[in-house]
Amino acid sequence: MHSDSVIEVNSLVKKYGDKTAVNDISFEVKHGKIFAFCGPNGAGKTTTVEILECLRSPTSGNAKILGLDISRSSDVSEIRKRIGVLPQDFNTFDLLTVKETLEFFSKIYDLHLAVKELIKMIDMEEYINVLYKNLSGGLKQRVGVAIALANDPEVVFLDEPTTGLDPKARRDVWDVIIGLKNKGKTVFLTTHYMGEVESLADNVSLIYDGKIIAEGTPQQMISKYGGNQTIVLGGGGNKAQMILKKVIDDVVMDKNGDVLVKINSRKEIYDVIRSLESENVEYDRLSIKGATFDDVFLNLTGKKIVDGKLQ
């Protein structure tokens, strides 16, 4: 194991009958980083993370968490004591209060954080006596994160922690995740939200159809795979599309009538503006959009992820 690697995965394969859910993947996660494992639903994210959490056995390959082998039963109990897990679609006992829930999960571990400290970490002091079932989705996820931290783990696995949350709740969970990094925890985050990767991750691996198709920092990947800038002509309509096609190859109009022009150079920006001026084309607004992590996935696979599904 490399000196600062806390997770090391080598040639991991998981098959369910004839279907290969995880197909020979390898990666490592460095200490104190937020690592995003990103891909659409069914790509193999949860299978991989559940293998690392010792919930499933790999068909072949191996993985080490904190230097401990996930396939060795004597190591598994030690791994469980040292990791924290927020499973996908997390749920807990609905008729316990927040305080009772955290007390229960803390006391499972010989070494654990005080409940007060956990509540402070997720900023839920005012909800300690509220039953879990009466919390909003975002607050439930924050309780889940607190539970994952009950044993003061060195590595925290968060499997789709913001799925289904509204933007405000999602931001609140992000704040908690950034707080974990600030405390020196290593965070393994699975997600299909590209914005989440861009905002939170230090490193990312893109998984698609069971295979890792790209990895690096989000900015490296955007630079490498994000593709060109796009001029967006709001309300440009058919006329703008027709005129611009004479000077630029890649011009499309979306369903709102906005015209999207892919440009390869600064010169093409001037060409576009000059054509619009000379032909008196009317439009509402003009903006230049840089590549995002969405473009990375789109350019690598030819498909978009919308709500976790491929389109």
Partner 1 sequence: MRKIGLILKVFVKHWYRRKSTVFWTILFPIIMISLFGSIFSNSGSSMMTLYVQNFDVENGKVTRLSQALIDSLNQTHALDIHYVQPSQNLTEALKGVSSPRALIIQEGFNKELQEVLANQSRNTPKIILKRDASQLIDPALGLINTVIREFSVYLQVGSTKSIITLQEEADQKGFRYIDFFLPGVIGMNVMTTGIFGAVSLNTEYRSNGVLKKLSTTPISKFEWIVAVQLYQMIISFISVAIIIGIGYLPLSMFSVKTTLNLMAIIMIFGGTLVFSGIGMIIAKYVRDPSTADAAANAITFPMMFLSGTFFQIEMYPDFLKSVSQILPLTYFNNGLRAAMVDNQPDIAFANTAILFAFAVAAISVGVLLTNWRDN
Q: Contact positions toward partner 1, by CB under 8 A?
A: 53-57, 77, 80-81, 83, 85, 87-96, 100, 104-105, 107-109, 131, 147
CB of 33 to partner 1, least distance (A): 21
Say if CB 187 and CB 34 are below 8 A apart. yes
Least distance (Å) between residue 63 CB and partner 1: 15
CA 259 to the chain's CA centroid = 30
Please report the sign of the dihedral spanned by the C-alpha atoms of residue 270, residue 276, residue 277, residue 279: positive
The number of helix segments (H) and strand segments (E) in the chain equals 11, 16
Q: Tell me the C-alpha to C-alpha distance, in Å, between residue 8 and each of 29, 51, 78, 156, 214.
A: 7, 12, 16, 15, 17
Q: Least distance in Å: CB of 299 to partner 1? A: 35
State the alpha helices, DSSP H only, in 155-281.
167-182, 194-200, 218-225, 237-244, 266-278
Distances (CA, A) of 234 to 161, 229, 241, 249, 283: 34, 16, 11, 19, 6
- Shortest distance, position 14 Cβ to partner 1, whole Å: 10
* Nearer of residues 81 and 224 to partner 1, judged by Cβ: 81
Q: Which is nearer to partner 1, 107 or 116 (CB)?
A: 107
* Token pair of 204 as six digits: 């990312």
**For the residues of 27-68, what is the DSSP string, one character each?**
EEEETT-EEEEE--TTSSHHHHHHHHTTSS--SEEEEEETTE
CB 143, min distance to partner 1, A: 11
Pick between residue 14 and residue 203 the one whose CB is nearest to partner 1: 14
87 versus 236: smaller Cβ distance to partner 1: 87
Whether the CB-CB separation of 227 and 263 falls below 8 Å is answered with no
Return the number of the residue (95 or 288) whose C-beta is nearest partner 1: 95
Q: Which is nearer to partner 1, 105 or 127 (CB)?
A: 105
CB of 215 to partner 1, least distance (A): 26
